[in-house]
Amino acid sequence: MTSLLIRNARIGDDAPADILIRDGKIAEIARDIAADGVPVENADGHIAIAGLVDAHTHLDKSLLGWPWYKNDVGGASLMAMIENERAMKKKLGIDPHVQSMRHALKSVAFGATLIRSHVDIDTEGGLRALEGVMQTAEKLADVVEIETVAFPQSGLMIREGTVELMDQALAMGADLVGGLDPCGVDRDPKGHLDAIFALAEKHGKGIDIHLHERGELGLFSMEMILDRAEALAMKGLVTISHAFCLGMPDYHRTEPMLARLAAMDVRIMTTAPSSSPAPLVKQLDAHGIKLGAGNDGIQDTWGPYGNGDMLERAKIVGQRNNLRMDSEVKRALDVCSGGGAEAMAKPRRALEAGAPGDVVLVEGETVVQAVVSHAPRRLVVKGGHVTARDGKTLVEAP
Amino acid sequence: MTSLLIRNARIGDDAPADILIRDGKIAEIARDIAADGVPVENADGHIAIAGLVDAHTHLDKSLLGWPWYKNDVGGASLMAMIENERAMKKKLGIDPHVQSMRHALKSVAFGATLIRSHVDIDTEGGLRALEGVMQTAEKLADVVEIETVAFPQSGLMIREGTVELMDQALAMGADLVGGLDPCGVDRDPKGHLDAIFALAEKHGKGIDIHLHERGELGLFSMEMILDRAEALAMKGLVTISHAFCLGMPDYHRTEPMLARLAAMDVRIMTTAPSSSPAPLVKQLDAHGIKLGAGNDGIQDTWGPYGNGDMLERAKIVGQRNNLRMDSEVKRALDVCSGGGAEAMAKPRRALEAGAPGDVVLVEGETVVQAVVSHAPRRLVVKGGHVTARDGKTLVEAP
């Protein structure tokens, strides 16, 4: 844990001040703090925001650094995309450690200090992807905190041996139990959910389940998730990623579900997608449901989009939610920073004494101007440790 | 009209070649074209794409160059946003000529060669906005083609004197008759539509009407638009911007409407919004309906978003439409280029002999990689005339 004094940073839209980080945490924010031997960075009046948080991504999937991958599969069928990815991984001989290093460091250059990565566990790749990402997490421990979710991307019940691999993955150190569309992919919601909740109970770990299922089907799976969360008293330990079904327009269907999610302190992670229904910030806020955001996979066999920038994701969250007021856009930023950390059950990233020493200096006239233009990052600091300067990480990507 | 030889450009994803522009049009694309006195630009192997087309924007509204505008109004009420804008324009004393110069040149720096701008006509601002934008269009005639739509932003029937101003605007040279939510804003669809179609008939000009009305209300207004287009035999002369109602999920309601739109060759302009239903590329393509895209207003009192980049808009169109295949993303780009020009009834921008000499050189590994990263523009050429280099226009903005 490191100490650092950042001089002359604009604290959000407020007047410039100094930020003193001691032993990895923000100790003080004030004018003209005495340095007394602490290393100093001059912010030159740039805007300081709290460290960015990518609460839903896939570090093992990106093809960053490879020649352009020409996508001929498209988005019509989830199963076709899953099958294609497994085939391509094999064909190309992707190294999950190298790819996760590239992806994580790209995110760090944009200001990420905390990442939750789902990692594929399947009977072809085995635990290789997890080993690679965990190796990255260890190497980058001072640079970015990486949490892993053992994720049965190819299905759990439909591929024999996957539950056992998930069990091994959790024993090996995966932080959370993943899951995927218990109806849509596994065609066995009871089997799927019983299996992942049993793994969570056995290993004493939380759950973060991908739920792309829309409309009534998604609500049905969500009910089955909640039944189990309630029965096992897993308040605050369950996360639902994507949760497209919460974007269905029927208030009488979503409101009781939101109330039930809130009562169990279920957390929601979104990418704020433009081509799907999506959980909405204001609706979740009204229920006090913790919400994080993520970039999801970037530049992989699933699609060509994404660059790892959570400040740009804040813009996307703002646009998806029709957030136009400055105060609203700042909430979109919070979803991609402090709010996302809270949704991950991690200390809230914020510019205040006691918060983690995770600070990003960004160019810009105001915070909102910086968000909507995803302005250049000047400095990224994690726990008082400088990790990137002018868009380049200090650790080089392989 | 100018001549220019662009050497060694990658033609989309194909091998490098030279592009010869003569008298403003592409004369030839081939290897090692003889220069014979024509000025030469070396593309250094960068990717050439056709000139970008912003088919729906508001050049008179942007606050570019002003101190950051703090938005406290939000997006809940269309009328509140309209009233606020009129009040702010008065308070700040915005000069529509200066603002449209700034906005248009920002778009040009990103590769725009053709822009359709709606321009506010109302009883407070009178014809001032139109005068300002027309002055810009004249000054930038060699740099970017600007088409104007006389747009009753504050309503037509609800503000006495607006129809007369629209009449004057069209006599003054506005290229098209605008309109706005005949039900939602004017509360008098018959009055509104009779008025704008009468203006179109009188001046022999086309129509481009903003239609934000969703669901059944939007379909009702669309029917009334089509009734008049059919009665006046205005095939190919009517454009509907936004057309959110076409994004409603009821196939049995939208399909007959799409067939009727196609029969009258009605054109659709979209921003591919993430927070609204929207007309979808594939659905419109299936009906052969011409589709253009636009950035809409950028950084104005309506909201903080937008930067004038139609290559980034192509990415947004791709994401909104779940376009993941390379071939699909290229169609998204076309909507923001050649397809948009066609929807405006202008010559199709394309890299082929006979097309306008509008070419953009962009960094990138492939066309799709350039789109999804909205990669830096190296050179922008309109009609053989270099208008921007390395992201900077040759004409300076005021």
Cβ within 8 Å, pair A324-B304: yes
Cβ within 8 Å, pair A274-B319: yes
Question: Cα distance from B319 to chain A (closest Cα, Å)?
Answer: 6
Average pLDDT value over all residues in chain A: 96
**Closest CA in chain A for residue B364:** A68
**Which of A68, A329, A330 to mutate to probe the B interface, most B CBs <10 Å?**
A68
Helix (H) or strand (E) holding B26: strand B25-30
Which positions in chain B touch A318 (Cβ < 8 Å)? Answer: 305
Spatial CB neighbours of B270, under 8 Å, sequence gap ≥ 6: B56, B241, B242, B243, B278, B279, B291, B292, B293, B294, B317
- 3-state SS track over B225-259: HHHHHHHCCCCCCEEEEECHHHHCCCHHHHHHHHH
Percent over 90 (pLDDT), chain A: 95
Which has the closest alpha carbon to A359: A11, A1, A107? A11
Q: Is B164 on the interface with A (CB under 8 A)?
A: no
Spatial CB neighbours of B366, under 8 Å, sequence gap ≥ 6: A68, A70, B13, B47, B326
pLDDT at residue B75, as a whole number: 86
Interface of A with B in 70-99 (CB under 8 A): 70-75
Question: Cα distance from B301 to chain A (closest Cα, Å)?
Answer: 9
Please give the average per-residue pLDDT across A97-105, as a whole number: 98
Question: Is 2.60.40.10 the CATH classification of the domain at A4-50+352-393?
Answer: no
- Is there a contact between A63 and A98 (Cβ–Cβ < 8 Å)? no
Write the CATH number of the domain with boundaries B4-50+352-390: 2.30.40.10
Q: Helix (H, G, I), strand (E, B), or coil: what is residue B178?
A: strand
Q: Can you say whether the dihedral through the CA atoms of B279, B285, B291, B292 is positive or negative? A: positive
Interface of B with A in 255-314 (CB under 8 A): 272-275, 299, 302-307
- Is there a contact between A61 and A297 (Cβ–Cβ < 8 Å)? yes
Same fold, B4-50+352-390 and B52-343: no
Question: Is 3.20.20.140 the CATH classification of the domain at A52-343?
Answer: yes
**Spatial separation of the C-alpha atoms in residues B156 and B131, rounded to whole Å:** 19
For B319, the closest of A305, A318, A321 (CB atoms) is A305
Cβ within 8 Å, pair A319-B305: yes
For A100-183, strand residue ranges (E) read 112-120, 145-151, 176-180
Q: What is the mean pLDDT of each run of 10 residues along chain B (398 residues)?
A: 92 92 96 91 97 98 96 90 93 95 98 98 97 98 98 96 98 98 96 98 98 97 98 98 96 96 98 97 98 97 96 98 97 98 98 98 97 97 98 97
Could you give the residue ranges of the DSSP H alpha helices within A14-95? 78-92
Spatial CB neighbours of A382, under 8 Å, sequence gap ≥ 6: A51, A108, A113, A142, A143, A144, A145, A356, A357, A358
Q: Is B373 on the interface with A (CB under 8 A)?
A: yes
Domain boundaries, given as residue ranges, for chain B:
4-50+352-390, 52-343
Which positions in chain A touch B366 (Cβ < 8 Å)? Answer: 68, 70
Residue A50, phi then psi, degrees to nearest 5: -70, 155
Question: Cα distance from B35 to chain A (closest Cα, Å)?
Answer: 34
Cβ within 8 Å, pair A365-B68: yes
Q: Is B368 on the interface with A (CB under 8 A)?
A: yes
Tens digits of residue pLDDT in A342-353: 999 999 999 999
The ipTM assigned to this model is 0.93
Please give the average per-residue pLDDT across A318-324, as a whole number: 97
Spatial CB neighbours of B17, under 8 Å, sequence gap ≥ 6: B8, B9, B11, B29, B30, B31
For B324, the closest of A303, A321, A323 (CB atoms) is A303
pLDDT at A315 over 70: yes
Q: Is A369 on the interface with B (CB under 8 A)?
A: yes
Tens digits of residue pLDDT in A116-125: 999 999 999 9
Tens digits of residue pLDDT in A30-62: 999 998 889 999 999 999 999 999 999 999 999
For A274, the closest of B70, B304, B320 (CB atoms) is B320
Residue A386, phi then psi, degrees to nearest 5: -70, 125
Q: What pTM value is reported for the model?
A: 0.96
Interface of B with A in 38-57 (CB under 8 A): none
Q: In what order do the strands lie in the sheet with A291-293?
A: A52-57, A112-120, A145-151, A176-180, A206-211, A238-242, A267-270, A291-293
pLDDT at A306 over 90: yes
**Closest CA in chain A for residue B70:** A326
Please give the average per-residue pLDDT across A342-371, as a whole number: 97
Which has the closest alpha carbon to A361: A336, A387, A327? A387
Tens digits of residue pLDDT in A59-85: 999 999 999 999 999 888 889 999 999
Q: Is B315 on the interface with A (CB under 8 A)?
A: yes
Cβ within 8 Å, pair B328-A74: yes
**Spatial separation of the C-alpha atoms in residues B208 and A237, rounded to whole Å:** 52
Which positions in chain B touch A74 (Cβ < 8 Å)? Answer: 323-325, 328
Which positions in chain A touch B68 (Cβ < 8 Å)? Answer: 365-366, 368-369
Query: Quick one: DSSP state of residue A244?
Result: G
Cβ within 8 Å, pair A373-B307: yes
Residue A193, judged by CB atoms within 10 A of its CB (0-12, 13-18, 19+), counts as buried
Cβ within 8 Å, pair B372-A304: yes
Question: Cα distance from A112 to chain B (closest Cα, Å)?
Answer: 19
Q: How many CB pairs below 8 Å do chains A and B form together?
A: 98
**Closest CA in chain B for residue A278:** B275
Question: Cα distance from A339 to chain B (closest Cα, Å)?
Answer: 21
Question: Cα distance from B220 to chain A (closest Cα, Å)?
Answer: 21
pLDDT tier, A1 (very low <50, low <70, confident <90, very high otherwise): low
Query: Quick one: DSSP state of residue B121?
Result: -
Query: Quick one: DSSP state of residue A204?
Result: T
CA angle, residues A158, A160, A162, in degrees to nearest 5: 90
Cβ within 8 Å, pair A304-B319: no
Tens digits of residue pLDDT in A145-160: 999 999 999 999 999 9
Which has the closest alpha carbon to A291: A344, A254, A247? A344
Which positions in chain A touch B72 (Cβ < 8 Å)? Answer: 325-327
Q: Is A250 on the interface with B (CB under 8 A)?
A: no
Q: Is B320 on the interface with A (CB under 8 A)?
A: yes
Question: Cα distance from B230 to chain A (closest Cα, Å)?
Answer: 33
